[in-house]
Structure 1
Amino acid sequence: MSNEHLWLDSLIDGFMALDAAGCVVHCNSAVQDMLGLDCELIIGRGLLDAAPVLAASSEAIHDAMATGEAQTLAAPLVLGERSFSLRVSPVVRGGWTLQFVDVSAQVASDRRRGEDLARLAHDMRNPLAPLRTALELLKRPTVADATKERAREIMDRQIVELVGMIDRLQAIGRGLRDAPASAPAGPFMAPALADPSALPHDRGARVLVADDSELVQQSIVALLRVEGYEVRTVSDGEAAVAVANEWKPRYVLLDLHMPRLSGVDAAKQLRASHPPGDMVIVMMSGVSLNDAWRDHAKQAGFDLCVDKTADPNEWLAQMRAAGLVIRPA
């Protein structure tokens, strides 16, 4: 047996070597296990004669060979409960190699993820009916105040449920089976405050809101102005840096993902020119952040990270608390 064949036999992936005529000249022990073949009996035979289990993929294999380039077949080879990716590669001296990689675990994981997404898509529609009904009740002037208050409670509860579902959706996207109930509070993620109303108010302070969503801008600006703040808005990171440098707000609220310059890069530029005592830079995140992301944001110059999908009273209090702790020099 040649050194090349000894090397192929040591691999966990299945390998089959074909000559220029498409006849099998070698297969390793992994292929025997994967395809249920006896390599000694198939040497010198044509591919489909040697391995009839490849019949379903024969057209794709021949098409790949016709290109003269290495290609991985788009569809996996499915044999019973096992699935294999199949890569066809030309050999310099003539002939081909077929590489078989067991992807059964990945295929099963993708299938479970699809099932999870289908269930979640169904669940995410459930809060829409009570939200729309409650909103309609709030629009009608003849509805009693008690009924309107009940409608507000319904909307608040359904929004909490939707946020939890979005956390689950993000967890599925990261390949996790279960989402954490909430992002853990850490030295950078602001914890819930016991009594937000006890904080002194810094009414009149300047706040710059940077977010590329017009609806997010409008809702946050309306809330901040009701609270007595002076507010300006921008829609991208470059504008946030320019306006903040010129206007010098006490607080800069930065969305993570914005055009032209990300929130993280905008924070780096602002922090290089404005120490914490001059400007409180707040990350407004709509996603659950892991510890690595929070550390990255802190190093970029953010003073605080708040969840903009949380109760607005909570993140407002967290912002004010940061402003009280981080005092101008």
Structure 2
Amino acid sequence: MANLLNAKQTTLRERVVVSGVGVHSGKPVEMILHPADANTGITFLRTNREKGTELEIKGTYQSVIDTRLCTIIGHPEKGMIATIEHLMAALVGYGVDNVLVEVDADEVPVMDGSSRAYIDAIDQVGLKDLSAPRRYIRVLKPVRVQNGDSVGELLPHDGTRFDVTIDFDCETIGVQTFNEEMTPAVFKRDVSLARTFGFMSDVERLWAAGYALGSSLENSVVIGDDQKIVNPDGLRYEDEFVRHKTLDAVGDLALAGAQLLAHFRSYKGGHKLNFNMLEALFADDSNWEWVEASITKRNAARVDVSHANSSIQAAMGPETN
């Protein structure tokens, strides 16, 4: 199992604070990442200091309530947290199994539009191993979803691979593909710096509708009406666009509740397609099984099948296409 770099579950060594603005509200956001116990997964805590209320939201696909502009979890009336995909990508892509994410607003801070600020926060405090073995969700047979010309597949694979293709009718983007085995090192080096992107005409339309009020050249790659990049510093990667779509996919699929052992392929995908992939995967228990890592006497990681076809609900608890 090539990407089992750590057979034990992890959490943060201590809490760390990340502050920024919400990409849609433009308002200040403070987020605190707290260490968490084994088998608790990624949980969000929406706090409202003015009202003195708290709402706990599991970081799983069952909590998703909208995928139109970003991935939003929670409850329309009780409380929600938007734009979680970049943070989820950083946590799962970098090997964090358990964490409590405390947020004092309806959005995660957008930072620079990538996952790097979250990676830096994790590096600041470091990770620690927990006593429980790491758990994975292994895909057993092909699962396919098609939404118009957007297509996604999850295929059985001895590892975690992302194969993402985008196709834009824009000379600056065009057709781009990212296809790599996803390890913490690959995620940090090749994916985490890729920023969200959009077209100036779309940004202006969103501003007029009261969205993307925190969006700027400091946290987005913007393409002008002349199909040229507006940002003075240009791109961080030559194919930054597809790498950001890959980042989004890593974050959205992290809502499975554990790292997937699968080969994920998508063409012209987005948040909706990624969410639909998880719905399709868990719609049939024969599509998947739980596995967990074990440590041999030589401290080599291996994977054992456990709780095959168990209920994911029992196990985990209650960008535009």
**What TM-score, normalized to structure 1?**
0.21
Higher helix proportion (structure 1 or 2): 1
Q: Which has the larger radius of gyration?
A: 1
Greater relative contact order: 1 or 2 (C-alpha under 8 angstroms, separation 6 or more)? 2
